[in-house]
Amino acid sequence: MSLDPTVAHLVDTAAADPDSDEDALIASLEADEAVDAFRERRLQQLHEEFNRAKQLRSSAHGIYSEIKDEKALMDITTSTKYCVVHFFKPDFNRCAVMDGHLESLAPTHYETRIVRINVDNAPFLITKLKIQVLPCVIAFVDGVGVDRVIGFEGLGRTPDTFTTRDLEARLIRAGVLVREKVQGVRKGTAIRKGKVVEEDSGDDWD
């Protein structure tokens, strides 16, 4: 049974707030005049989805965290249904831009584990996954890579700017995010000249 849109909206909004309360969500649901015909079903869904979101948040979902060890990262990608990994370098401007967008997505997309790892801490994975251009964001479903964003390729109208919603849409198409949740639009920042390899839309550190 698909999640009711009203329930989804309430839970997604509450997911970003660690102090959210189920009773307050129920009160909001019951205040909806259109809820009567589907009241019991919606209340049941709200209870189940709220508890699921709470359980996932307790296991580091809903936050954008850095993983320091590549073995730990491999364990996460193979044990988590949905996972997005940003391979980054701290001094690369484009990686900082990607960080901002992923940090915006993490709180409401609690179904997906969204993490990052410094490429210096992941030599085996960098070789195995043949990562050459940064930022590199790989989407995993059940431990299998289903999409790869290289630089800013395929995001926004130009290679240098894109919105959080653009990234969200790409990851939804990949099947690693479950539904559209971004309300506002976070714009990408301008990219300074330097190490950027324009033809690759990213930084090449080799």
pLDDT at position 37 is 55
pLDDT at position 185 is 46
pLDDT at position 123 is 97
Instruction: Please provide the DSSP assignment of 21-63 as one string.
Output: -HHHHHHHHHT-GGGGGGHHHHHHHHHHHHHHHHHHHTTTTTS
Residues of the chain with pLDDT under 70: 1-2, 4-11, 13-40, 42-43, 45-59, 159-160, 183-206
pLDDT at position 176 is 97
Residue with tokens 């251009």: 133
b/e per residue 81-90 (b: at least 16 CB within 10 A) = ebbbbbbbbe
pLDDT at position 190 is 37
The overall pTM is greater than 0.85:
no
Grouping H, G, I as helix, E, B as strand and the rest as coil, residue 68 is: coil
DSSP annotation of 161: B
pLDDT at position 18 is 62
